[in-house]
């Protein structure tokens, strides 16, 4: 990894403004999924170090909340600017530990920085209310105050953006944050801490702890000083963290799993639908929470869409993310590859046909062939489970009502997509889909200015947009009498 600024690559945790090893000096390797080589080691910390980070956050909170909104905004804006000034190094670190192509990694860094920029602006718009009281000698005031010490636990698939989507609103609202990044991709988080320090984030306001997920998570969820937990990851782990947080009644933000339907109606622009399907399904080698997981295609255009999609998918280039022109990197680990293989094998055993790809790539490691399968039916695992890999399963439907029923037949409700040029259908289907987000004639919909989040078992709360700050403030009602 050739960095212009090698000091961005850290192999220690950042607690209370200090770079530290684990108390027991133990460490964990960080692997490059494309080559299998060890690129760094990080401390294997646990509950004791996490408690110190929480105590440091609590000690730093009064001074941080006392800063004016403009002072906090200035620091967040400077952090954004530093991310953009170091985009090449941050992207190289991200590709080395997560595998996504460098162009995608640069895109993630810009996306991640946009949350710091957005919440540097939102910091100055956390306004209250004065309510018309029911008596002339009274005035009712509502003010918004920072929730307190917050914690974040983030996934490996977006090692930078999932962090700034949480730390941005937290710091903007006046809350300190203790972060546990994914064990597979901690280096991006530690590089963010380097830039936070340079931006002027005071010691204790942002700390990064790596190591035992259960030990660190156990402390973050049990410690009463932590007033809020924001988690992004699988629904399975989210359920555990919700249960662990119940004892201390923490505020929770949960960004969990998905099972996105991608519906192609017979009135769709098929070329646009293929472009959108490629963008949604194969971004990050299919490892995003909002990837199309089920492609539902109306019978009249099924064969034409399948042929067009297979032709376009066949042009995707698999390889090391640092190689020019590569659009498909490796999957994160062998378990991820096994999940894709399991879904393909199950579908084929129940009658589906592989029309493109279908097996591990000849490059070895965790590379997988971009895959398209047809003849998929609702009894197959891929209908109910998140594949999280570069495999597009095509289901067939006859009517609009059938498509909506198929799309909603899941416990998930994060992202959904459909392609149609009929305005009546656009409103009917957009309103009928049980999802937090709906892409209409669009395969990529995420933005810092829009509310990101799901319904049902895809999560709680929203991140980004004006709404994203609400999860980091408490409403306080002041009743003024005797005026
Ligand atoms: N909704 C969203 O915005 C969003 C975004 C990205 C990923 N995801 C979901 O995340 C999943 C893939 O990411 P992943 O494999 O990192 O998910 P994961 O749930 O396995 O891990 C997420 C984070 O939780 C930590 N963790 C795991 N077990 C824990 C425990 N017992 N206590 C405390 N922390 C624990 C991990 O170390 C990691 O930091 C997919 O289901 C994907 O849909 C959702
Ligand atoms: O995987 C989850 C991310 O939230 C995807 S996105 O980059 O925000 O669309």
Ligand 2 atom nearest to CA at 289 = 1
Mutate to test the pocket of ligand 1, among 186, 237, 410 (most ligand atoms within 8 A of CB): 237
Q: What is the DSSP letter of 365?
A: T
| Cβ of 108 less than 6 Å from ligand 1 | no
Say if residue 292 is exposed, middle or buried (CB neighbours under 10 Å; 0-12, 13-18, 19+): buried
Ligand 1 centre to CA of 332 (Å) is 13
Mutate to test the pocket of ligand 2, among 258, 290, 292 (most ligand atoms within 8 A of CB): 290
DSSP code string of 2-50: --SSGGG---SEEETTEEE--TT--EEEEE-TTT--EEEEEE-B-HHHH
Ligand 2 atom nearest to CA at 445 = 9
State the DSSP H helix or E strand holding residue 294, giving kind and residue range, or none if neither.
strand 292-298
| Cβ of 446 less than 6 Å from ligand 2 | yes
Ligand 1 atom nearest to CA at 238 = 19
The residues, any chain, with a CB within 8 Å of residue 145's CB and separated by 6 or more, are 65, 174, 473, 474, 476
Q: What is the DSSP letter of 46?
A: -
| Cβ of 168 less than 6 Å from ligand 1 | no
449 — pLDDT class (breaks 50, 70, 90): very high
What's the mean pLDDT when you consider all of the chain? 98
In Å, the largest CA–CA distance within the chain is 80
- Measured distance CA(234)–CA(214) in Å, rounded: 15
Segment 40-64, tens digit of pLDDT:
999 999 999 999 999 999 999 999 9
C-alpha pair distances (Å), 393 with each of 157, 343, 373:
21, 10, 5
Is the model's pLDDT at 352 over the cut of 90?
A: yes
What's the average model confidence in pLDDT over 462-473?
A: 98
Ligand 2 centre to CA of 449 (Å) is 14
Say if residue 357 is exposed, middle or buried (CB neighbours under 10 Å; 0-12, 13-18, 19+): buried
From atom 8 of ligand 2, which residue's Cα is the shortest distance away? 446
159: tokens are: 């090692």
- Measured distance CA(457)–CA(455) in Å, rounded: 6
Q: How far is CA 87 from the centre of its chain?
A: 19
From atom 5 of ligand 2, which residue's Cα is the shortest distance away? 288
Percent helix / strand / coil, the chain, rounded to 5: 40, 20, 35
Q: Whose atoms come closest to the Cα of 232: which ligand?
A: 1
The residues, any chain, with a CB within 8 Å of residue 74's CB and separated by 6 or more, are 120, 200
User: Other CB atoms closer than 10 Å to residue 373's CB: what's the count?
Assistant: 24
Ligand 1 centre to CA of 188 (Å) is 16
Segment 361-374, tens digit of pLDDT:
999 999 999 999 99
C-alpha pair distances (Å), 452 with each of 303, 310, 448:
33, 30, 8
| Cβ of 268 less than 6 Å from ligand 2 | no
Segment 10-28, tens digit of pLDDT:
999 999 999 999 999 999 9
Question: Among all residues, which ones are annotated catalytic?
Answer: 255
Is the model's pLDDT at 439 over the cut of 90?
A: yes
Q: Which of 461, 317, 440, 463 is nearest to 390 (CA)?
A: 317
Cβ pair 147, 228 in contact under 8 A: yes
| Cβ of 458 less than 6 Å from ligand 2 | no
Segment 293-328, tens digit of pLDDT:
999 999 999 999 999 999 999 999 999 999 999 999
Is the model's pLDDT at 99 over the cut of 90?
A: yes
Cβ pair 152, 180 in contact under 8 A: yes
Segment 264-284, tens digit of pLDDT:
999 999 999 999 999 999 999
The residues, any chain, with a CB within 8 Å of residue 231's CB and separated by 6 or more, are 152, 153, 154, 237, 238, 241, 252, 253, 254, 255, 256
| Cβ of 50 less than 6 Å from ligand 2 | no
Beta strand 353-356 with 206-208 is unpaired
Is the model's pLDDT at 1 over the cut of 90?
A: no
Ligand 1 centre to CA of 481 (Å) is 49
The residues, any chain, with a CB within 8 Å of residue 246's CB and separated by 6 or more, are none
Ligand 2 centre to CA of 113 (Å) is 14
- Measured distance CA(340)–CA(471) in Å, rounded: 35
Is the model's pLDDT at 416 over the cut of 90?
A: yes
- Measured distance CA(209)–CA(205) in Å, rounded: 13
End-to-end CA distance of the chain: 67
| Cβ of 80 less than 6 Å from ligand 1 | no
Cβ pair 326, 101 in contact under 8 A: yes
Task: Name residue, tokens 């029923």.
Answer: 405
Domains of the chain: 6-256+458-479 (3.40.605.10), 261-440 (3.40.309.10)
Beta strand 226-232 with 437-440 is unpaired
From atom 40 of ligand 1, which residue's Cα is the shortest distance away? 234
The pLDDT assigned to 256 comes to 98
| Cβ of 213 less than 6 Å from ligand 1 | yes
Segment 152-191, tens digit of pLDDT:
999 999 999 999 999 999 999 999 999 999 999 999 999 9
Q: Which of 243, 103, 113 is nearest to 167 (CA)?
A: 113
Ligand 2 centre to CA of 165 (Å) is 10
329: tokens are: 């990197």
The residues, any chain, with a CB within 8 Å of residue 265's CB and separated by 6 or more, are 298, 301, 400, 403, 418, 419, 420, 422, 425
Ligand 1 centre to CA of 256 (Å) is 8
From atom 7 of ligand 2, which residue's Cα is the shortest distance away? 446
| Cβ of 413 less than 6 Å from ligand 1 | no
Q: Report the share of the chain in percent with pLDDT over 70.
A: 100
| Cβ of 233 less than 6 Å from ligand 1 | yes
| Cβ of 160 less than 6 Å from ligand 2 | no
Q: Whose atoms come closest to the Cα of 453: which ligand?
A: 1
Segment 241-267, tens digit of pLDDT:
999 999 999 999 999 999 999 999 999
Q: Whose atoms come closest to the Cα of 50: which ligand?
A: 1
Ligand 1 atom nearest to CA at 463 = 3
Residues in a beta bridge with 221: none
Q: Which of 164, 201, 230, 185 is nearest to 72 (CA)?
A: 201
């Amino acid at each position: 990894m050739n960095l212009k600024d090698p000091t961005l690559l850290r192999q220690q945790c950042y607690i209370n403004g200090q770079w530290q090893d684990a108390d027991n000096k133990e460490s964990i390797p960080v692997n490059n999924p494309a080559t299998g080589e060890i690129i760094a080691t990080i401390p294997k910390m646990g509950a004791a170090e996490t408690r110190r980070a929480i105590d440091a956050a609590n000690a730093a909170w009064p001074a941080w909340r006392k800063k004016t909104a403009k002072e906090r905004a200035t620091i967040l804006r400077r952090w954004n600017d530093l991310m953009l000034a170091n985009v090449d190094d941050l992207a190289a670190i991200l590709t080395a530990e997560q595998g996504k192509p460098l162009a995608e990694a640069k895109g993630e860094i810009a996306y991640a920085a946009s949350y710091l920029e957005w919440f540097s602006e939102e910091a100055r718009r956390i306004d209250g209310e004065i309510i018309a009281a029911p008596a002339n000698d009274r005035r009712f005031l509502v003010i918004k105050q920072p929730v307190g010490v917050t914690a974040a636990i983030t996934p490996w698939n977006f090692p930078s953006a999932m962090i700034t989507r949480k730390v941005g609103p937290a710091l903007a609202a006046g809350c300190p944050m203790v972060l546990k990044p994914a064990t597979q991709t901690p280096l991006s988080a530690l590089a963010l801490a380097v830039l936070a320090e340079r931006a002027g984030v005071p010691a204790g306001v942002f700390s990064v702890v790596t190591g035992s997920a259960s030990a660190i998570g156990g402390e973050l969820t049990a410690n009463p000083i932590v007033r809020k937990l924001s988690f992004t990851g699988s629904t399975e782990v989210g359920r555990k963290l919700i249960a662990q947080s119940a004892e201390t009644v923490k505020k929770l933000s949960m960004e969990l799993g998905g099972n996105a339907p991608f519906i192609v109606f017979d009135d769709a622009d098929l070329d646009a639908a293929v472009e959108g399907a490629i963008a949604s399904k194969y971004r990050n080698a299919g490892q995003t929470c909002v990837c199309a997981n089920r492609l539902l295609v109306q019978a009249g255009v099924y064969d034409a869409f399948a042929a067009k999609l297979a032709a376009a998918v066949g042009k995707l280039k698999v390889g090391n993310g640092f190689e020019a022109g590569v659009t498909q990197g490796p999957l994160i680990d062998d378990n991820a590859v096994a999940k894709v293989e399991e879904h393909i094998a199950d579908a084929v055993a129940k009658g589906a046909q592989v029309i493109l790809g279908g097996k591990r790539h000849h490059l070895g490691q965790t590379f997988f062939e971009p895959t398209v399968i047809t003849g998929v039916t609702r009894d197959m695992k891929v209908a109910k489970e998140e594949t999280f890999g570069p495999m597009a399963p095509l289901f067939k439907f006859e009517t609009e009502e059938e498509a909506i029923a198929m799309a909603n037949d899941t416990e998930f409700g994060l992202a959904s997509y459909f392609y149609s040029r009929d305005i009546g259908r656009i409103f009917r289907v957009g309103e009928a889909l049980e999802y937090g987000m709906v892409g209409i004639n669009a395969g990529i919909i995420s933005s810092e200015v829009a509310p990101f989040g799901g319904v049902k078992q895809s999560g709680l709360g929203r991140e980004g947009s004006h709404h994203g700050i609400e999860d980091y403030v408490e409403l306080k009602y002041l009743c003024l009498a005797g005026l």
